[in-house]
Amino acid sequence: GDPSTSCNAQIESRVDCNPGNGNQQDCEALGCCFSPVNEKLGIPYCYFPSAPVNIYQDLYFFGHGHDYFGAMADFVLLSGPVHTFPRYIFGPQYSRWHAFNEVDEVSLIEDKYEELGIPLDVLVLDMDWHFTYDRGDNTCTPSVNGWTGFSWDTNLFPDPGRFLTWAHEKGLHITNNMHPAAGVQCVENEYVKFANAMGIDPSTNHSIPYEIQNKTYAQNFMDIVLQPLTNQGEQMNGIDYWWIDYQQGESNVAYGVNPTFWVNYVFTTADSWWPNNLRPLIMARWGGFGNHRMSTLGFSGDVTTSWASLA
C-alpha cells in the first residue's frame, strides 16, 4: 500500500498502535503510521493505518511433528509469553445469571458452601448487580439499554462496600459482569463527571457511545467510571477483576484490529486498574492469535444448569 494514502485517516478515527514510548522508527517497524500530534487531544502519535502500509507479510511454519510442547515453546518465543494468573483463579467459581441480592449471596455461602464444606474461591456476579433501568428523574437519550451498567443496584446491594468487605473476609474474590457496548448512560453514578471530561453537556442526559479505541475515552472510562468500583468501603475493598461479556460483532476498530482483542488489551494494560504490581486478569472471549498475552481467562458462553452440561 501507499503510506501517503494509508496514513491519512481522519484525526477522530485514528486508533492508537501503542508501541510504548517508541519513536518514529519503532512505530513504523510495526507497520503503523507516525504523527507527532499533541497527545492531550487524545490522538495517538502512532496509529493503525486505514489500509496496509506494507504489502509484505511474514509467515512462520512450525514443523515439530509430535513435539507439541516444543511447538508451543517456539510459538511463545515468537509471539510473547503467557502471563502468570493469580493463584485463586484456578479454584472453584460460582456463577449463575439471576438477580441475587446481598442476603441471597450471604445465605448461599454461609448456609450452603460453608455448611457442606464445599471450597469456593470466586463469586461471579452476573449483570443484575448493576442498574438495568432508568432511575430517579433521569430519562436517558436514547432510553437505557439494561445490558450495560457500571453502578451497583442499591435495591439489591444497599451497601456494596459492606458486601465486598464480607466477601473478602470470607476469602472470596469477586468478578462482576460487564456488557460495555451501550457506553456510559445517564443512570451511572459517574455520568456527570465522565460527560464533562468528554466535553458533553451532562444536562442533555445523552448516552456517551462506547469508543474504547479512542484514547481519551478509554482513559476517562477507566479512571472515572471503573476505578471507583475498586474503592468501596473503609477497607478499600472492591471487585477483583471484570468479566467482560463483549459480543458486539467483529467489525474492526482499525485496519486488521479485532475489537475483542483490542478490548482485552486495553483492560489488561490499564495502569489505573492494576496498580501496586497486581497481576492483570479479566474473563473474556478469545480475541484471536496473540490473545494469550492479555491475561485473559477465556469463557465460551452460556450453559444450562444440568449434569449434561458437565459431561
Average pLDDT over residues 282-294: 88
What's residue 20's pLDDT? 58
Whole-angstrom Cα distance, residue 231 to residue 253? Answer: 31
What's residue 35's pLDDT? 82
What's residue 233's pLDDT? 45
Average pLDDT over residues 63-91: 92
Q: Is the pLDDT of residue 302 over 80?
A: no
**CB hemisphere CA count around 62 (13 angstroms):** 15
Q: Is the pLDDT of residue 110 over 80?
A: yes
Which tens digit of pLDDT belongs to each residue from 210-267?
A: 988 888 899 999 999 998 898 544 555 789 999 998 766 666 777 667 788 889 988 8
Higher local confidence (pLDDT), 305 or 267: 267
Q: Is the pLDDT of residue 41 over 70?
A: no
Residue 260 sits at the vertex; the CA angle it makes with 259 and 265, to the nearest 5 degrees, is 95
Which tens digit of pLDDT belongs to each residue from 45-55?
A: 788 887 665 55
Contact by Cβ (8 Å): 195, 208: yes
In three-state secondary structure terms, 298 is strand
What's residue 29's pLDDT? 79
Higher local confidence (pLDDT), 134 or 162: 162
Of 156-160, 194-198, 268-272, 281-285, the one with minimum mean pLDDT is: 268-272
Contact by Cβ (8 Å): 173, 120: no
Question: 56: burial class by Cβ within 10 Å (0-12, 13-18, 19+)?
Answer: exposed
Whole-structure pTM value: 0.81
Residue with cell 460495555: 180
Q: Is the pLDDT of residue 153 over 90?
A: yes
Q: Is the pLDDT of residue 307 over 80?
A: yes
Higher local confidence (pLDDT), 16 or 259: 259
What's residue 50's pLDDT? 76
Q: Is the pLDDT of residue 2 over 60?
A: no
**CB hemisphere CA count around 230 (13 angstroms):** 14
Whole-angstrom Cα distance, residue 121 to residue 149? Answer: 25
What's residue 1's pLDDT? 46
How much of the chain, in percent, has pLDDT values that exceed 70? 85
Q: How far out from the chain centre does Cα 147 lie? A: 15
Contact by Cβ (8 Å): 161, 209: no
Residue with cell 435495591: 155
Whole-angstrom Cα distance, residue 146 to residue 131? Answer: 7
Residue 73: partners with Cβ closer than 8 Å, 6 or more residues away = none
Average pLDDT over residues 196-216: 92
First CA to last CA distance, the chain? 50
Whole-angstrom Cα distance, residue 297 to residue 245? Answer: 12
Question: 125: burial class by Cβ within 10 Å (0-12, 13-18, 19+)?
Answer: buried
Question: 29: burial class by Cβ within 10 Å (0-12, 13-18, 19+)?
Answer: exposed
In three-state secondary structure terms, 269 is helix
Question: 58: burial class by Cβ within 10 Å (0-12, 13-18, 19+)?
Answer: exposed
Which tens digit of pLDDT belongs to each residue from 159-181?
A: 999 999 999 999 999 999 999 98
Residue 182: which of 230, 238, 131, 125 has the closest Cα?
Answer: 131
Average pLDDT over residues 103-107: 95
Which tens digit of pLDDT belongs to each residue from 88-97?
A: 999 999 999 9
What's residue 119's pLDDT? 96
Q: Is the pLDDT of residue 5 over 70?
A: no
Joined grid coordinates for residue 297:
481467562
Helices (H), the chain: 3-6, 24-29, 68-79, 102-107, 114-116, 160-169, 191-197, 215-220, 259-269, 307-310
How much of the chain, in percent, has pLDDT values that exceed 90? 44
